[in-house]
Chain A
Amino acid sequence: MLYQITNKKQLSENVFQMDVVAPLVAQARKAGQFVIVSPDAETGERIPLTIAGADPEKGTIRLIFQRVGKTTALMAEIPEGGTLGYVAGPLGRPTHIETFGTVVCVGGGIGVAPLLPIATAMKEAGNKVISILGARSKELLILEEEFTALSDQIVIVTDDGSYGRKALVTEPLKEICAGAPKPDLAVAIGPTIMMKFCCEVTREYAVPTQVSLNTIMVDGTGMCGGCRVEVGGQTKFVCVDGPEFDGHQVNFDLMMRRMNAFKDLEKRALEQYYKEHKCKIGLDRK
C-alpha cells in the first residue's frame, strides 16, 4: 500500500527510522535529495525529510527523523504497518558526486541521517571518506555501525564525553584540515550553528565545504519562497536551488533567525497535543 510504513525502529530517545512504501521515489532518488511528508493528508503540516536510503526493489525509502515538534511527534506515533498521509519527491538537486580524493563528512545530531547517503555515494565514487560523528551524549548517537562500515577513518565525539572523545565536531575537523595532505572536500550536516562553525574552520584552511540546509518549507517545489536563504549575497530557494550549498557563501546568521519564525506557535501546538493525548512521551523532555 502506498505510503505504508513497512519497518519502524527507534534509534534513540527521540530519533526514529522508518521504511515507507514510495516506489517511484525509491527509484528516482539520488543522494542529497529529500521528500515532503505529512502524517495526515487532511490536517497535517508538510515537512521536509531527507531520504536516508532506499530499496528500489521493495519500493521503499528510509526516513530518519527527530521528534522535535508536533508533526514529528505525530509521525513517531504511527505504528509499523500504518500509513503516512503522503510522501512527495524526490526533491532538491542531488549532491554533486565525483572523485575528489579525500572527503571529510561531518554529521551532528540528526544531521548524521542525511549525511549517510552522501557519504555512501562519496565512498562508491572512489573517495577516501573520513567521518566525524557528533552527538550530545552516547544515547543520542545514531548510525555508528553504518558509518564505521563505509568510512576509511571515523571519529566520534560527544558533548558530555559519555562516548568517544569529549569535544565538539569542530575540534577533530580542525585537526584533519591542519594535517597533511589536507582533505579535498568537507561535507557538513547538522544543526545550523554547527554548520556555521564547521565552515569557519574549513574556510581558514581553504577546504571547500558543502552544507545541506534545513530551512522551513511548505511546498518544496519553488512556489512559496518560505525556504529562502542568502547565499553569496543572493536570495536562493533551498528546495529548488539546494538543499546543498557552498558553506562558505551561506549567511547562517540570517538563516538561524528565520528558522525560529514559528517557534512560539509550534511550541503551543506541541504542548496542546501532549495535553490532549496525555501521551507517554511526557513534556519533561528538553
Chain B
Amino acid sequence: MPTNPEDLNRDEQQACLQQLLDKLAKDRYAIAPQPMPAQDPIKRRRTMTEVALGYTETQARLEALRCLQCANAPCMEGCPVRIRIRDFIAEIARGEYGAALAIIKENSLLPAVCGRVCPQEVQCQERCTVGKKFKDVNMSVSIGRLERYVADLAQGGGQTPAVAPPTGKKVAVVGSGPGGIVVAADTRRAGHDVTLFEAFHKPGGVMIYGIPEFRLPKAIAQQEIDVLKKMGVKIVCNFIVGRTRTIEQLMKEDGFEAVYIGVGAGLPKFMGIEGEHLVGVYSANEYLTRANLMRAYEFGKGSDTPITVSKNVAVVGGGNVAMDAARMAVRLGAENVYLVYRRSEAEMPARVEEVHHAKEEGVIFCTLQNPKRILGNADGHVVGMECLRYELGEPDESGRRRPVAIKGSEFVMDVDTVIVAIGNKANPLIQQTTPGLEFNQWGNIVVDENCRTSLKGVYAGGDIVLGAATVILAMGQGRIAAQAINADLAPPT
C-alpha cells in the first residue's frame, strides 16, 4: 500500500483511507465481546450480593475497542436520553475514564444504575452496527457495561454538582424514584429551594424497594441520595402527598411554586382467579418489598418483617419483576422455583440477561402455561396451583402471537407459595386527592411533551405517566420536567 499521500490524487487517497478503516474494522470485529464476570451460580443462590461483578480495566478497554466509532452513531438514537455513546466509548478506549463519565453525565445522572438495569438489548445496543453486522444483538458493543465501569470507578469520588445562587422559589418533588431524583437535582442546580417527599421511610423508589440487592446494590441508589443531600435538597420521608398534605396545600399554604409528581406505578394487579386470597399468595410488590426494603431475609436477625419460608414457589409472569421475584425466592431458600408464563420464551418481556441468570440459578421455566385456580387446605394455605397448557395462535394487537388455552390440559403444580407478577394499575391516591388534575382512562396522569399536567405549576413523569416504564425513561422525563420547571420559574427577561 502506498504510504505517501503526496503520490496520490484525492480519489486514490479516499480509497486508501477506506481500505485502512476496513482493515481496522476487521480487526475490531475480531475482538471477542467481553463476557461479564459473575458470581458462581451455585454459590449465589444463597447470597444477596451482586451477581454481575463488573469489567476489569483490560476488559473495558478491549470492549471499547470493539466500537467502530460510526459516523452516524445509530446507538445514540436507541438511548432514550441520547447519551453521546460513541464519544464516551472513545474516551474509554483511550483510558480517559473521567472524561468518559463526564460525557455520560451530560445526559444521565444515574449511570451506575442505568448501566446495570437498562434493557440495553432493546435500546442502545439494539441499534449498534457491530450487532447488526453479526445479525446478533448479543454481539453489539456492551454499552451498558462500559457505562457501569466508568461510573463504578468514580464511586464516592464523584463531585457534588454546583448550585446556582438561591432564587427564593420553592419546588416540591413527590416520590424519590429515579424521576424524582433527577428533578430534584436539576431544579436544585438552578438555585431553587427543593424538598423531596417520600411516603416510605427510605428514599430511592423502586431502586430501594423493588429491584433486588443482587442486581442493584442499595448503596448505589443511596449514593445518589447522598449527593442530593450535599446539594442542599431537603428530603422528607414518611410523608404521603395527598394525605399528609395535599398538592393544593403544598402550593397554596406551603409556598411551593412547582410540584413534580413521580409517585410511580401503584396497585398490583391480580388475576381474579379462585384462591387468590389464600395465605401464601403474594403480589410481587409485596414479596419484593418485604424482602428488599424490610430485609425480611434477615428476619429474626436484625429485621422484624416476616416472609413465608417456602419449599415450592410459582411465580406468574414473564417480565423483569417476575424474574426478580423468582430469583429472590431462590435466595430465600425455596427448593423449587417455577416461572409460569403463558406465552413462549421468545415473547418474554424480561431482559435476556435476567432470564439467563434466573436459569443459571435453577429457576424452572414453565412457558405456555397459565394458572386456572389456586388450591388451598383447610387452614387456607396454598397447597397447589391448577394450570392449563397453552399454544400460540394468531398475532394479537401487540403483534405477539396470542396464547390459546388447550382444552382439557389441566394439571396441578405442587407449590406452597404463589407470587403474582402480572403488572400494576395506577395508584389512585393522587387522583382521589387532587381535584382538577387530568388522568387518562387507566388512571395515569396526562402530560404534554414538556411533562406539564393540566394544573398550572404541576408536572409529572415516570411510571405514573407512562404506566410501567424503565428507570431511564423515568429519568428522561424527570430531565424534561425539570427543564420546564426551571423555565417556568425563571424571572421574565
Checking A38, A221, A257, A268 against B240 with a beta-carbon cut-off of 8 angstroms, the contacting residue is A221
Q: Are B304 and A71 interface neighbours, CB within 8 A? A: yes
The interface bits of chain A over 118-150 (1 if a CB of B lies within 8 angstroms of the residue's CB, else 0) are 000000000000000000000000000000000
A93 to B428, CA, bound (A): 12
Interface segment, one of B128-136, B150-158, B179-187, B277-285: B277-285
- Shortest distance from the beta carbon of B328 to any chain A beta carbon, whole Å: 14
Minimal beta-carbon separation of A154 from chain B (angstroms): 33
**Given A28-B245, A225-B268, A269-B300: A88 and B239 interface contact (C-beta under 8 Å):** yes
Would you call B87 an interface residue if the criterion is a C-beta within 8 Å of the partner chain's C-beta atoms? no
Bound complex: CA of A251 vs CA of B282, how far in Å?
19
Mostly helix, strand, loop or mixed at chain A's interface?
Answer: mixed
Inter-chain CA distance A261–B306, complex, in Å, is 10
The answer to whether A228 and B429 touch across the interface, beta carbons within 8 angstroms, is no
Where the two chains meet, the residues of B that have a C-beta atom closer than 8 Å to any C-beta of A are: 199-201, 237-240, 243-245, 266-268, 270, 272, 276-280, 282-283, 285-286, 289-290, 294-295, 299-300, 302-306, 308-309, 379-380, 427-429, 432
A267 CB to nearest chain B CB (Å):
10
State whether B244 touches A222 (Cβ < 8 A).
no
Q: Which residues of A contact B280 (CB under 8 A)?
A: 261
Tell me the bound Cα distance from A222 to B302 in angstroms.
26
Given contacts A87-B238, A265-B299, contact A258 B277 (CB under 8 A): yes
User: Shortest CB–CB separation between residue A253 and chain B, in angstroms?
Assistant: 9
Q: Select B238's contact among A86, A237, A257, beta carbons within 8 Å.
A: A86
- Complex contact B304–A43 (CB within 8 A): yes
Query: In the complex, what distance in Å separates the CA atom of A258 from the CA atom of B290?
Result: 16
Question: Across chains A and B, which 8 residue pairs bring their CB atoms closest together, nearest first?
Answer: A257-B380, A224-B286, A225-B283, A88-B238, A265-B306, A45-B304, A225-B268, A262-B306
Whether the Cβ atoms of A226 and B282 lie closer than 8 Å is yes
Cβ contact of A260, chosen from B243, B270, B303, B380, cutoff 8 A: B380
* A257/B279 contact (C-beta < 8 A), A43-B302, A70-B304 known: yes
Asked whether A184 is an interface residue with its Cβ less than 8 Å from the other chain, the reply is: no
Contact with B along A216-233 (1 / 0, CB 8 A): 001101111110111000
Known A-B contacts A46-B294, A268-B300; A91 and B240 likewise in contact (beta carbons under 8 Å): yes
- Let me know if B266 and A222 touch, CB within 8 A: yes
Find out whether the CB atom of A44 lies under 8 angstroms from the CB atom of B304.
yes
Q: How many residues of A contact B (CB 8 A)?
A: 47
Establish whether residues A90 and B244, one from each chain, have CB atoms under 8 Å apart when the complex forms.
Answer: yes
Residues in chain B near residue A257, CB distance under 8 A: 277-279, 379-380
Check B272 against A235 for contact (C-beta < 8 Å): yes
Residue contact B270 to A269, C-beta cutoff 8 Å: no
Do the beta carbons of B278 and A222 come within 8 Å of each other? no
A:63-86 near B, CB below 8 Å: 70-71, 74, 85-86
Give the distance in Å from the alpha carbon of A235 to the alpha carbon of B299 in the complex.
Answer: 29
B289 x A235 contact (CB < 8 A) = no
How many whole Å from A275's CB to the nearest CB in chain B? 12
Nearest Cβ on chain A to B432's Cβ, whole angstroms: 8
A–B pairs, 8, beta carbons within 8 Å: A41-B201, A45-B305, A91-B243, A224-B289, A240-B428, A258-B279, A261-B280, A262-B306
Return chain B residues, CB-CB under 8 Å to A279: none
CB of B300 to closest CB in A, whole Å? 6
Q: A43-B302, A221-B429, A228-B270 are in contact. List 13 more A-B contacts (CB 8 A).
A: A28-B243, A46-B294, A88-B239, A90-B243, A91-B240, A218-B305, A222-B427, A223-B289, A235-B270, A240-B427, A240-B432, A257-B279, A258-B380
Is A86's CB under 8 angstroms from B277's CB?
A: no
A272 within 8 A of B: yes
Cβ of A24 under 8 Å from chain B: yes
B277 lies within 8 A of A25 (CB): no
Q: Is the CB of A85 within 8 A of B289?
A: no
Q: How long is the Cα–Cα vector from A44 to B298 in the complex, in angstroms?
A: 11
Q: Is A1 an interface residue (CB 8 A)?
A: no
What residue in chain A is nearest B427 (Cβ atoms)? A222
- Are B428 and A222 in contact, CB atoms less than 8 angstroms apart? yes
Instruction: Please indicate the chain B residues that have their CB under 8 angstroms from the CB of A218 in the complex.
Output: 286, 289-290, 294, 305
With A218-B294, A235-B276 already in contact, the answer to whether A224 and B429 are too (CB < 8 A) is no
The residue in chain A whose Cβ has the minimal distance to the Cβ of B199 is A221
> Is the CB of A89 closer than 8 A to any CB of chain B?
yes
A45 to B305, CA, bound (A): 5
Q: How many angstroms between the C-alpha atoms of A89 and B270 in the bound complex?
A: 26
> Which residues of B lie under 8 Å from residue A91 when comparing CB positions?
240, 243
CB of B418, distance to nearest CB on chain A (Å): 13
Query: Which of B245, B279, B299, B306 is packed against the most chain A CB atoms within 10 Å?
Result: B306
